[in-house]
Amino acid sequence: MAVTKADYNETLAKTYFDSVMKTVKESVSGTITLKGNSETYKVGYAVLEANYAAIFDAATDFVKAHGTEPYIGNGADASYEVNRLEYVLNDVADNQELKMTLVAAQYAADKQEAIDVLNGLDLSDYSTAELTDKLKKALDDKCTTYVDHIKHLISDAVDAINDYTFTSDSEVDAYAKAKRTIDEYFYDADATGAKGSKVLAVEKTYDGKDGKVGLGIYELNEDYAVAGTTLASFTTTAVAGADAVDAAEVAAWKAATAQKYAAYLNTKDADKTYAANVKKVFDFLAENGINPTGWDAFFAKDAAKTYAKGFATAIANVEQFEADAARYAAETDVNGVLVRDAKDVADLVIEGTMNEYLARTGIGPNTAKNYKTIDEALAAIYSLYASLDDELLAFEKKVRETAVADFLADAEADETYYPAELAKVKELTTEYLAKVNAITDVDKILADKDGYDKDYEKKVKDVKTAKQVDAAGNYSALVTAATQYADILNKQLKGDNKYYLGENNAKVIAEINKLVGNAGARTTKEINALSGDAIALVTSLPTVGAVDAAKDAADDAVKALPRTAKVADKALVDAAIAAVDAYETISAATYGGKAVENAVLQYAYAVNNELTAKVKAVDKTDKAALKALKDEIKTFVDTYEDYAAKDAVADVFKTNKDKLNGYLKDIQDAAAAAVTKAISAIPVKANLTEAHKATVEAARKAYDAYVAEYTDYYVAYKAAGYKTDGFVADDFNYQSLFNAETQLGLNNNPADAVKALKITARSTAKKGSITVKWSVVGEADIDGYQIWKSTKANKGYKKAFTTTKKTYKNSKGLKKGTRYYYKVRAYKVIDGKNVYSDWSNKANRKAK
């Protein structure tokens, strides 16, 4: 039996409810348990307190309607009181929205606390030294230092936590799953069992009377497993210790070599040059991790007879290799930036040297196979700079930017989403593009190693479209309110003046859908709050007469369609489409029949017949004309495709479109062949001279023009040299082109050449004029010289003249007896801006 109002006292109800809240607060866990379908979520006192009023109302509403006791609490049984509160939130249908509000708030607090802890972990004990090459290879995350890798681990954990997103439809189970991901990274004081090797944060504790007590302070878990070791080996002390051990070991190896070297020199007829060569090779191998202490045979009395030539040749070869490598390492691009990474060059020098020393000397020919030969290493160094990775990375980013821009444009044009969901999609897109644009490794973006593409697609798919929102919504109360009000109004109206509701209230439902969707109302409470707006929209409904008139207009326009539509019937086809669209919009009904679709397809065939004649007559090498015809097809299909079956309109034009594409492909293939021919015309390195500069420049011009025109951001990259993807920059022997440019200095920065010019000015005076001449030291392709003039040595200069010559005669604006100062600088326009040389000295003369 329900509690009556006479049994209920507001003040006493709050007193008992506060008792329940106090019980929760003082419990061991300080939480209540909220249930999902198969999972639970613990909600803490802070969240309950923040939602006190709503929970209190829910509890009192329950006891008023269903309780046998007047209050949620009675002060007699703490466990019973908490169980009743959990029942009210878990099992009463009217409180499910409140339950999810509490769970969402608790998860938000749990998530923020976890992220704050992870980002606040003290990393000061961890080494800033560079990772060993072995670890870099094992980790494969592009981190440079030990502490950088730890930051990367933390960042990955935060990203994993942030990956979970929720909507108003999310249930307890979804939040519980997300919470488990958070928990994977933490080992708390009350945790049971051993901490896992992937736990990042461990709570600090002290021993209390009843066991370990947590301090709420977390530190990095040094037992975290990584690449065959743990983070304990990443501390500054551990790294320094390992380095010290390695250094001591290398020192011991080199000391052993020094002893053998000294002993050998004391033998009769010792070959000092040979001994020095052996020591040099042994020391190098020791410094690179190979222990030479067992190779006594190379310091034996007559060892030089057997090994001297091999050691001498190896050292000479390495010296030449190092010189070649150093020359390549110093090369710069057009912006004056080194084109090769110094560390990459150094690593390859070590690799080639290791092979040469091990193989050529006879020390370890089998071990030498683990390293590149000096020829292979030099070729690898030579090829380092000709990479198109930066261009491919930029291409891949642009592909994604283009795709999402088109997606958003179509979504807005087609009204795929209501405003609230569209805003969410735009937010996800901004977040996605920010992550994509931050990628610096082309391999990562190609393989989607960070999962940004898949994650974005999944998150966008989870956002409801307008149709999905409409289908999921329960707006029956609003529809009922609107139709009841419409019935009242319609009783006062006659015939055509009545408001049109549609068959089975279809028009009312369509307008209610738009009202709710555009308002962003998604919860029951938000939807019910629109009841007034639902009633108000009735007076904006069309009248029965207006709908009938639209239907009649559509019928008339459809009847006016010819039996077989020709090109000349365009106006009739368009009029029928417009009339049918107008009827369907005003009525929320579908106009039946196939008449419009048939007319559209007939009209399409008629247009295509005329296009066939145009395609037959067009100059197959006229790219502009071919593209214009393709644009005609696209415009027609875009205009009419929605009025026939999927792809039906496009299929009409397929043959002609394929022909046009074939002709354009022939033009592109010819252009590609011209680029290939231009690059092939560049002589090999040994024969390349200044006389071939024009040949190289022509190849570059052809290459750049082709890449600019045929790069296609709508066709995904497949593989280097693949001819049918959108990244055309790698379709040619780019290496040869770049090598030739480098050899001829064409990759030098033209701005640097201008800035390096040294100009010396001198002047002479005659009656009525002063002539300034100048000489230039240095070579640069400049556009001209500026001459500035003043009557004071150190200020007041104004531009007097610009010329391409190296002389200037000033015969105007001179005052006899006044001394004039002149200074000159060269300039060149690069990318629309002037680049200048330094000023010349100041030449001066007194006017006569």
pLDDT band at 710 (very low <50, low <70, confident <90, very high): very high
Q: What is the mean pLDDT of residues 282-303?
A: 88
CA–CA dist 303, 301 (Å, integer): 6
pLDDT of residue 586: 97
- Which residues is 829 bridged to in the sheet? 834
pLDDT of residue 2: 44
The percent of the chain in helix, strand and coil, each rounded to the nearest 5, is 60, 10, 30
> Contact, 512 vs 478, CB < 8 A?
yes
C-alpha 550 chain-centroid distance: 50
Q: Which residue has the higher pLDDT, 4 or 439?
A: 439
Q: Is the pLDDT of residue 503 over 60?
A: yes
pLDDT band at 211 (very low <50, low <70, confident <90, very high): low
**The token pair that represents 482 in the structure block:** 């609107």
pLDDT band at 475 (very low <50, low <70, confident <90, very high): very high
| pLDDT tens-digit map of 749-783 | 778 888 889 999 999 999 999 999 999 988 788 99
pLDDT band at 722 (very low <50, low <70, confident <90, very high): low
Give percent of the chain above pLDDT 70. 94
Q: Which amino acid type is present at position 99?
A: K
pLDDT of residue 461: 94
| pLDDT tens-digit map of 299-345 | 998 889 999 999 999 999 999 999 988 888 887 755 566 777 788 88
Report the run of H or E that residue 808 belongs to, with start and end.
Answer: strand 807-810
| pLDDT tens-digit map of 28-68 | 888 999 999 999 999 999 999 999 999 998 888 887 776 56
Q: How many CB atoms lie within 10 A of CB 475?
A: 22
| pLDDT tens-digit map of 61-86 | 887 776 566 667 665 676 787 888 89
- Which residues is 431 bridged to in the sheet? none
pLDDT of residue 544: 96
- Angle, alpha carbons 54-56-61 (nearest 5°): 95
Q: If you average pLDDT over every residue of the chain, what do you get?
A: 89
Q: What is the mean pLDDT of residues 111-130?
A: 91
Task: Please list, in sequence order, all residues whose beta carbon lies within 8 angstroms of the beta carbon of residue 109, skipping any fewer than 6 positions away.
Answer: 44, 46, 47
Least confident of 373-382, 433-442, 518-527: 373-382
Q: Is the pLDDT of residue 8 over 80?
A: no
Least confident of 11-25, 439-453, 719-733: 719-733
| pLDDT tens-digit map of 793-805 | 899 999 999 999 9
pLDDT of residue 711: 92
Q: Is the pLDDT of residue 3 over 50?
A: no
Q: Is the pLDDT of residue 6 over 50?
A: no
| pLDDT tens-digit map of 144-171 | 889 888 898 998 899 889 888 888 778 9
Q: What is the mean pLDDT of residues 504-524?
A: 94
Residue-wise over 146-165: b if at least 16 C-beta within 10 A, else e?
Answer: bbbbbeebbeebbeebeebe
Q: How far is CA 299 from CA 194, 260, 280, 362, in A?
A: 56, 7, 13, 14
Give percent of the chain above pLDDT 90. 58
